Structure 1
Amino acid sequence: MTQQVRIKKLHPDAVIPTYGTPFAAGADLYACMDSSVTIEPGQTQFIHTGLSVEIPVGFAGLVYARSGLACKKGIAPANKVGVIDADYRGEIMVALHNHSSEAVTIESCERIAQLVITPFLTAQFEETDELGDTERGEGGFGSTGRK
């Protein structure tokens, strides 16, 4: 399934997102900065991409960590998953947090996160006094693994 998504370069050096393989779900987002940015341990920095995007109505852009950056360097989005709504037209920026014990430097044109474009449903919430019963009921936080 493919969907055309309009994207605008806000900076001449911005890199259009790319898919690493034909079956990749996420397109790599690249840093676009005039100079490198060092993220100290426990700190968060906003990293520019130099891009804005027109997410189609009925879809959302979800910004996830790149597994290599997260596992090898301890760098991942501070909010875990960023959400780009269909009506947002500002620059895509990624708040990267350093979970490691060492400073990490992000260079311009480095892959910093991945963007997944996905459809979603808008719920029409209906207040009620009762919910339907299930076998699981109110069991949560590991309850399905207990016997």
Structure 2
Amino acid sequence: MDCIPVKIKNMRPKHELVVPEYATPGAAGVDLHAILEQDLELLPGQTARIPTGIGIELPQPDIVALVFARSGLASKYGLTLINGVGVIDSDYRGEIQVAMINLGHDPFTLHSGDRIAQMVFMPVYLVQFLPVQELAESERGEDGFGSTGR
């Protein structure tokens, strides 16, 4: 598997740099860690932007970093991302923060160093929109929102 070089900067010099790592050899994403001054309790329905302490520089504009929820936090505790998926564009140089919400029934306490999300690197394709009067026919057509069944 090919690796791309991604520069990483410690955006919170008071804290030690926590370099994201793949948890297993087959993992698609690296784990992002919370970097907090103190524990943070998220009440049910509460949202927060959780700092990771890192900034990155992607090596080229046709790569994006996507931030996803960790399945264990989501399925066990209801802790997930507010925006579904976070998009880290190739030209963003600020600290990566994870916008989280507690959809669970109980308060959840985050500690500095906790793994809170995962980041996957993907190719990006730029498009040129071509206005047309008609789109090509397909078997599905305009059917959507559950039209293919459960």
Partners of 2:130 and 2:145 in 1: how far apart? 25
Q: 1:68 to 1:29 in 2, by over 3 A?
A: same
Partners of 2:138 and 2:67 in 1: how far apart? 33
Matched, 1:31 2:15: no
Q: Number of matched residues?
A: 146
Matched, 1:18 2:29: no
TM-aligned CA deviation for residue 72 of structure 1: 1.1
Q: Which amino acid aligns with 1:95?
A: A
Matched, 1:61 2:62: no
TM-aligned CA deviation for residue 17 of structure 1: 0.5
TM-aligned CA deviation for residue 55 of structure 1: 1.9
TM-score scaled by structure 2?
0.93
Structural RMSD (CA): 1.2
Q: How does 1:1-147 map to 2 (within 5 A)?
A: 1-11=2-12, 12-56=15-59, 57-145=61-149
Partners of 1:14 and 1:34 in 2: how far apart? 14
Q: 1:14 to 1:38 in 2, by over 3 A?
A: farther
Question: Does the 8 Å contact 1:60/1:118 carry over to 2?
Answer: yes
Partners of 1:93 and 1:16 in 2: how far apart? 15
Q: Which amino acid aligns with 1:66?
A: R
What secondary structure is seen at the aligned counterpart in 2 of 1:89? coil
What secondary structure is seen at the aligned counterpart in 2 of 1:145? coil
Partners of 1:95 and 1:142 in 2: how far apart? 29
Partners of 1:83 and 1:51 in 2: how far apart? 15
Q: Which amino acid aligns with 1:2?
A: C
Ranges in structure 2 where 5+ consecutive residues have no aligned partner: none
Greater than 4 Å deviation, 4+ residue runs: none
TM-aligned CA deviation for residue 143 of structure 1: 1.4
TM-aligned CA deviation for residue 67 of structure 1: 0.5
